[in-house]
Amino acid sequence: MKTVQLAENIYWVGAIDWLTRDFHGYSTNRGTTYNAFLIIDEKVTLIDTVKKPYFKDLMYHISSIIDPKKIDYLVVNHVEMDHSGSIPEVVEAINPEKIICSKMGQKALVQHFHQEDWPYHIISSNEEISLGKKTLQFLETRMLHWPDSMFTYVKEDQILFTSDAFGEHLATSERFDDEVNQDVLMHEATKYYANILTLYSPLIKKLLASVQEMDLPIKMLAPDHGVVWRTNPGKIIEAYTHWCNNQGNGKAIIVYDTMWKSTRLMAEKVAEGLQEEGVSYKLIDLQVNHRSDVMTDVLESSAVILGCPTLNNGMLPRMAGFLMYMRGLRPTNKIGASFGSYGWSGEAVKLMNESLKEMKFTMCHKGLKVQYVPQENHLEECVELGRTVAKSMADHMAGKEVESVI
Ligand code: FEO
């Protein structure tokens, strides 16, 4: 991979990871990138580094532009190991005059690498540092998605380096938004938001408002994963505005697991009820869908209907695991309902309902459970559950108050 120029004297020098398929439990089927950027000025500056195994790629890219020892400043926008894992080697190789980070960044760097005497230079929001011709301005973005996270803005070039925000896990030979397939790009950006950022939606809302208030002209958004948004940064900002407001797309998803196919039968009938009312739906069997793909559908849906039989007084482990994952990410502002078959105790529906209520979903149905194998009348109740969800969705989307029935 060659380095790529973003603007005069600003280069991408990161690494492409074609191999990774799991990012702490998130399936990264298209790999990822660890973006780092080099600014050539009176003070040569490296913005972010790469995951430890890619240190040599970073050095190779930097060396094709300048002797790495000439780097004066290292900016650390975020300390998570995919961006900072190689920092000890980088510090040894370049011996920087300053490591520029937030206060929380310094704390996290010490806690990760146990080096109290590195040349930390702590900045806070709106502070500026001149590199000579170019000026860096900083914006702390605490808890987006770590306490140390911050953005770095190059005023003269109007490039905002956004760490994890506006990124996607996508390994490509191309570096810019206009060079890749738009459907793939937006799918991966959606998946990234769903699995990394959903929990922080209220903070993202505030961040977007404060960036707007600062009135920063933005020519490019340069995240640490995926492509640099040079042609259409407004596209990803618009998508984030949509996602952080928890606006669904008017579709329903039925997420289920099944033991002896009774719950699958029920799921198919719930789908019939949705279809009768003109609602577009997706049937998602957890046996063949990865939780992080399901979360992508959750983010964009307006209703989530869960189906699971009872096993040992609880849910099947795949549903229990999925709900633990989903609860952690806290999607909200959706219609919810549950169903499932059981043998003799039947707790699964109650447990799924509790999870949905905890996420403040509007529960439009008390829950439907059927002993062993559903008969015709049970299947009709499933169709009716689908109709009920569809009607609640219509009311919800029309701005009418929909009350939870449990
Ligand atoms: Fe890409 Fe939070 O690290």
Give me ligand 1 centre to Cα 224, in Å.
8
The closest-lying atom of ligand 1 relative to the alpha carbon of residue 224 is 1
Q: Are 113 and 87 in contact (CB under 8 A)?
A: yes
The structural domains of the chain, with segments of one domain joined by +, span 4-244, 252-397
Q: Cα angle at 314 between 309 and 315, to 5 degrees?
A: 45
What's the gap in Å between 15 CA and the centre of ligand 1? 14
Distances (CA, A) of 244 to 330, 332, 368: 12, 10, 31
How many angstroms from the chain centroid is the CA of residue 70?
35
| Spatial CA neighbour of 195 closest among 340, 322, 348 | 322
Are the C-beta atoms of 300 and 251 separated by less than 8 Å? yes
Distance of CA 294 to the CA centre of its chain: 13
Options 2.40.160.20, 3.90.230.10, 3.80.10.10, 3.40.50.360; CATH of 252-397: 3.40.50.360
The per-residue pLDDT for range 10-39, each reduced to its tens digit, is: 999 999 999 999 999 999 999 999 999 999
| Tokens read off for 4 | 């790529």
| Residues with a CB atom less than 6 Å from ligand 1 | 78, 80, 82-83, 145-146, 164, 224-225
- C-alpha 88/C-alpha 91 separation (Å) is 5
What's the confidence (pLDDT) of residue 189? 98
d(C-alpha 316, C-alpha 324), whole Å: 13
Q: What is the DSSP string of 47-101?
A: E----GGGHHHHHHHHHTTS-GGGEEEEE-S--SHHHHTTHHHHHHHH--SEEEE
Q: Give the integer Cα–Cα distance in Å for 191 and 185.
A: 10
What is the per-residue pLDDT for 211?
Answer: 84
Asked if 106 and 120 count as a contact pair (C-beta separation under 8 A), the reply is yes
The Å distance, Cα 25 to ligand 1 centre, comes to 13
**DSSP assignment of 269-317:** HHHHHHHHTT--EEEEETTTS-HHHHHHHHHH-SEEEEE--EETTEE-H
Q: What residues does 369 pair with on adjacent strands?
A: 340
Residue in the block written with tokens 């059981």: 342
Name residue, tokens 């510090």. Answer: 91
Q: Provide φ and ψ at 252, rounded to 5°.
A: -115, 150
Q: Which pLDDT value is given to residue 213?
A: 85
Residue with the smallest CA separation from ligand 1 atom 3 is 80
Segments of the chain with pLDDT less than 70: none
Question: What are the distances in angstroms from CA 99 to CA 36, 70, 102, 258?
Answer: 15, 14, 10, 53
Q: What is the DSSP letter of 179?
A: G
Cα–Cα dist 137/217, whole Å? 13
* CA nearest ligand 1 atom 2, residue: 80
- Reduced to 3 states (helix: H, G, I; strand: E, B; else coil), residue 236 is helix
Three-state DSSP at 383 gives helix
- Comparing C-alpha atoms, which of 5, 48, 78, 14 is closest to residue 230? 5
Strand 128-130 with 120-122, pairing: unpaired
Ligand 1 centroid–CA 86 distance in Å is: 14
d(CA 165, CA 309) in angstroms, rounded, equals: 38
Closest approach atom of ligand 1 to CA 145: 2
Instruction: Give the largest Cα separation in the chain, rounded.
Output: 78
Query: Rounded distance, CA 293 to CA 325, Å?
Result: 12
Q: How big is the chain, counted in residues?
A: 406
Closest C-alpha to ligand 1, atom 1: 164
Distance CA 135, CA 143 (A): 25
Q: Give the count of beta carbons closer than 10 Å to the beta carbon of residue 124.
A: 11
- Which positions are catalytic? 24, 78, 80, 82, 145, 164, 192, 225
- Domain 4-244 and domain 252-397, same fold? Reply is no
Ligand 1 centroid to residue 81 C-alpha, Å: 7
Would you state the pLDDT for residue 135? 98
* CATH class (in words) of the domain with range 4-244: alpha beta
Q: Please give the number of the atom of ligand 1 that sits closest to the Cα of 146.
A: 2
Of residues 293, 354, 295, 360, the one with CA closest to residue 332: 360
Nearest CA-CA partner of 71 in 16, 17, 107, 119: 119
CB atoms < 10 A from the CB of 144, how many?
22
